[in-house]
Chains A and B, each alone.
Chain A
Amino acid sequence: MELFLTEVAEVLAPGNLLLMVISAIIGVIIGAIPGLTVNMAVALAVPFTIYMPRAPSLILLLALYTSGVYGGSISAILINTPGTPAAAATTLDGYVLAKQGKAGKALKMALYSSFYGGMFSTFVLILVASQLAAFALKFGPAERTTLLFFALTLVGLLAGESMLRGLLAGSLGLMLATVGSDPMLALPRFTFGILDLEDGFSYIPLLIGLFAISEMLVQAEDRMRGVMRAEYRKSARREDSRVTREDIRESWKSIIRSGFLGTFIGIMPGIGAAVACFFGYGEAKRASKNPEKFGRGTVEGVAAAESANNAVTGATLIPLLALSIPGDTVTAILYGAFLIQGVTVGPLIFQQHLDVVYIVYFTLIVANLVMLGLGLAFLPMFVRVTEIPRSILYPIVLVLCVVGSYAIRNNMFDVGVMLGFGVLGYVLRRLRIPVAPLLIAFILTGPFEEALRQSLVRSEGSLAVFFTRPIALAFIVLTALSLFVTIRRSVRAKEALPQEV
């Protein structure tokens, strides 16, 4: 209890609170600008946390993450372009409401439901993560191997539109992660005499390249001409600019349902907030007595989508903290941020770094409150940032990418690696191959190889070790089931397509 109170006091220290407010403002602004994503914001912020103490660095990153997901709803509602993929379903009713002169109502409903979703999933995180970690402590190398194999498969299966392309991206991540010293014998692999490759590709330049540079190149395709006017007309009717009791009565069930759905999806590796957003929206429409109102401007649609996507924020940290498995891109980036601070996430974090766990819990709670306060106070200011031209933003983003990549080891090799991975990320995106499985596989390969080889050493090379231990077998069955269900769904979807003659 004393430790908990110490960490609460640390988070609430004036300097840290100020940092949280600034990070939340930056998060909302970046989330609101189409083309700048939460992933990019967190990826760019990580290198700078090297030079910060542990608590402020986590506060900075978590506040950016939480508020960035909400920020995506602003441009989704005002210019029909989601600032982040997580707000894609918000456009369906949000923009219609904005065109009806009800932008204020839609934005406030998005804020309240985002707040609810974020808080709900944080409480689930607090309740579930430590229990799951206690269970995970029973895992030996065989269980860890099969669990990581399950996570790798699930991420590949569920990220992106095509199962095969997701898995291919994962296998590429696996391949790239084998560059550098081998984890058991410290033998160099594929370094070709380049000293900078002894430790493998640096994680931060890789993720900055994959997410920030590739996004810059995607935006370059249309010569960064993407500027749109925000649909923010004020209605003469006061109730069009605020959330009324009638709106709450209409939407509360969807907000709560989406909170549950978003949290569940957040716990599953590889799915992420964008799917949660559509899932929450779809379920709200299915359960509604008036489904025909969806898509024609109902606040319930905005509420369902936003509650679901923010409910992912706390929940994705459950597998990260308890099992050392990053469930989506942002948690994959946070995984590296924890490592930079000397903290290895996983079940032991609850014994060795309980202070960090408390900082994460309390920061998420306060960050959600800060997001609510900022949203109410500065909404008109955030509305304006959706109109900043990308041609101004991206050269600045490039400068920050270079500074961030250089800061890790003070060498230009990492900056070159960043550009190389930026081009690779762009090519993959053009080929509609998702990059998130590549990053997550890249992160999980080290622990996976170590666990696999430890298991095989103990079993003297016999694969039976994975089938004779109940928990390991359970993960293999789960992997096979996930593959079976995904393949069956994909085959059915293909069969449902009309045959062309």
Chain B
Amino acid sequence: MNLAIRIGIAFLCIAAVFAFFIVPTVSEEWRKGSEAEFFVVGPKLLPYLSAASMALLSLLLIASGLRERRRKESQEKGFWEWEKATPVIVSIAIAAAYILLLPLLGFLIATPICMAVYFWYYGLKRRLFFAILVIAVPLIVYYCFYRLISVPLPRGLLD
């Protein structure tokens, strides 16, 4: 199965779940109001249109994928390569941990921890230079954004 077919099937599933399970959750209460008679179409029109267009395009993509497979012209690599996926998953995990830690530790404590973990994971050697960066960057961001232009920063329980 080539990539176009897989993408087509994935989007077809998304469109089906959206149309059959998610769109029906929109309330129909609006039809009961007196001025509601004025509206010939309701809030479900565009969600259904988006699901229908996605389903149609997915089917076309599947058809084009099948045609490519018959002609054996697809040169696309698969989506998943473990060697490349590992650092991506680690990066997402570090970012997620950082976001979870922010409300607990606050910006000034969570940021150096996150940066230090990143630098450690990417194997950076010049330790003193990175130690300075890990401390300086959050302080510069704090000063420039919070102090100078009053941009709020996440505050933690420890702040």
Contacts and interface: CB of A to CB of B under 8 A. Distances in A.
Interface of A: 47-48, 50-52, 164-165, 167-168, 171-172, 174-175, 178, 182, 184-185, 187-190, 192, 213, 216-217, 220-224, 391-392, 394-396, 398-400, 402-403, 406-407, 410, 412, 415-416, 419, 422-423, 426, 430-433, 445, 448-449, 452-453, 456-457, 460-461, 494, 497, 499-500
Most buried by A among B123, B150, B152: B152
A71 B151 CA distance: 28
A403 B98 contact: no
B47 A431 contact: no
B57 A171 contact: yes
A322 to B, nearest CB: 25
A164 B71 CA distance: 19
B95 A398 contact: yes
A185 B43 contact: yes
B99 A419 contact: yes
Contacts of B45: 449, 452-453
Given A171-B57, A175-B18, A187-B26, A217 B99 contact: no
Given A168-B57, A461-B40, A217 B11 contact: no
B95 A213 contact: yes
Interface in B131-159: 133, 137-138, 141, 145, 149-154
A430 B50 CA distance: 23
Main secondary structure of the interface of A (DSSP, over half): helix
Contacts of A51: 149-151
A13 to B, nearest CB: 18
Q: Pick the 4 closest A-B CB pairs, nearest first.
A: A182-B43, A174-B50, A461-B40, A395-B118
Contact of A392 (B40, B96, B99, B133): B133
Contacts of A165: 7, 61
A213 B99 CA distance: 13
Contacts of B88: 217, 220-221, 426
Contacts of B71: 497, 499-500
B18 A399 contact: no
28 contacts: A168-B57, A168-B61, A174-B50, A174-B53, A182-B42, A182-B43, A185-B43, A187-B29, A188-B27, A189-B47, A190-B26, A221-B84, A223-B122, A391-B118, A391-B119, A395-B118, A399-B115, A407-B152, A412-B99, A419-B95, A422-B95, A426-B88, A431-B79, A453-B41, A457-B41, A461-B41, A494-B73, A500-B72
Contacts of A182: 42-43
Given A51-B151, A431-B3, 14 more contacts: A164-B57, A167-B53, A168-B61, A175-B50, A175-B54, A185-B36, A190-B47, A221-B87, A223-B87, A396-B115, A415-B154, A419-B92, A423-B92, A431-B7
A414 to B, nearest CB: 10
